[in-house]
């Protein structure tokens, strides 16, 4: 009893995919800002990466509010009386509130010029920021009847995609600084490689799952979601930039810019396909 739950609609619309993408970049950019207190080459990104991080945090929050059938319900997210501490959504609300609060204090501290306190806040904020992609992964993985979603890889993959997309955005703000670009390239290459391995593992386990998993695999690789997931997400947005970064051209600014654009395209495509693809199967029965 309780092993079969029918779904006939796509309960999680594409808005959430864009939210996952935006909030992931916001978290990664805050981390890059904080990294500037430990790595000298990142110092030039301290202010600009934080500012964009905060803007994206606001945009992400507005996306969530706009997606509610009754936008006023967002007040429940900040009301402890409505919190269910066993729900990832509750922890997501808490993390968003904490991240926003720390971001404001961090900005005021930087503006004041108190580097000692700002460094401590950078560490605290980075830890909270890490929780943002983790909770988005848990949002999906707790659904036992969704192929692909119900995997322990979801949160790890979300963190990896967050870093990939955030570093890709940061590369456009690096202004051609050689040492900074080299460090960003190293992070980008490592996280893209890790993402590729996780995507492979995710697809193999899905292909050899039950009937629903096998159908989901077909939809995502050769069916209606094949172009988005395999074409844009895996090939264009993961494999091609990984090859570019591995070649000598990937060590140059132009090569990195090309890889960054492709990674951002792939980041959106992968999040969209992973969110929507597993829901398509249940609209058929």
Average pLDDT per block of 10 residues along the chain, 285 residues long: 54 88 96 95 94 95 77 69 75 89 96 94 96 92 86 94 96 88 95 96 89 86 89 96 95 93 96 90 69
Mind giving me the DSSP string for 224-265? TTHIIIIIIIIIIIIIHHHHHHHSGGGGSHHHHHHHHHHHHH
Q: How many CB atoms lie within 10 A of CB 99?
A: 23
C-alpha to C-alpha distance for 100 and 176, rounded to whole angstroms: 30
Domains assigned to the chain: 15-283 (1.20.1630.10)
Q: Which are the contacts of 29, defined by CB distance < 8 A and separation ≥ 6?
A: 49, 50, 52, 53, 56, 166, 169, 170
Question: What integer pLDDT is reported at residue 88 of this predicted model?
Answer: 75
C-alpha to C-alpha distance for 59 and 279, rounded to whole angstroms: 25
Q: Tell me how long the chain is.
A: 285
Question: What integer pLDDT is reported at residue 6 of this predicted model?
Answer: 52
Tokens representing residue 217 in the block: 């695999």
């Amino acid at each position: 009893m309780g092993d079969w739950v029918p779904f006939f609609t796509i309960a999680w619309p594409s808005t959430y995919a864009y939210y996952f993408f935006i909030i992931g970049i916001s978290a990664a950019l805050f981390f890059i800002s904080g990294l500037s207190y430990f790595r000298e080459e990142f110092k030039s990104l301290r202010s600009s990466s934080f500012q964009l991080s905060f803007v994206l945090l606001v945009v992400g929050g507005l996306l969530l509010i706009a997606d509610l059938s009754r936008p006023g319900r967002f007040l429940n997210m900040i009301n402890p009386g409505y919190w269910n501490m066993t729900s990832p959504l509750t922890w997501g609300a808490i993390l968003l509130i904490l991240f926003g609060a720390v971001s404001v204090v961090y900005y005021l501290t930087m503006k004041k010029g108190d580097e000692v306190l700002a460094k401590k806040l950078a560490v605290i904020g980075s830890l909270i920021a890490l929780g943002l992609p983790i909770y988005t992964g848990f949002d999906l993985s707790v659904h036992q009847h969704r192929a692909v979603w119900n995997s322990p890889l979801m949160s790890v993959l979300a963190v990896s995609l967050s870093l990939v997309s955030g570093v890709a955005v940061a590369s456009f703000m690096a202004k051609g600084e050689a040492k900074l670009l080299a460090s960003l390239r190293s992070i980008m290459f490592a996280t893209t490689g890790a993402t590729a391995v996780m995507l492979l593992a995710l697809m193999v386990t899905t292909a050899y799952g039950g009937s629903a998993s096998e159908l989901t695999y077909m939809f995502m690789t050769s069916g209606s979601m094949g172009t988005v997931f395999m074409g844009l997400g895996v090939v264009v947005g993961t494999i091609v930039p990984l090859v570019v970064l591995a070649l000598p051209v990937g060590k140059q600014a132009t090569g990195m810019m090309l890889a960054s654009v492709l990674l951002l395209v792939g980041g959106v495509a992968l999040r969209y396909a992973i969110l929507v693809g597993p829901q398509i199967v249940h609209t058929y029965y």
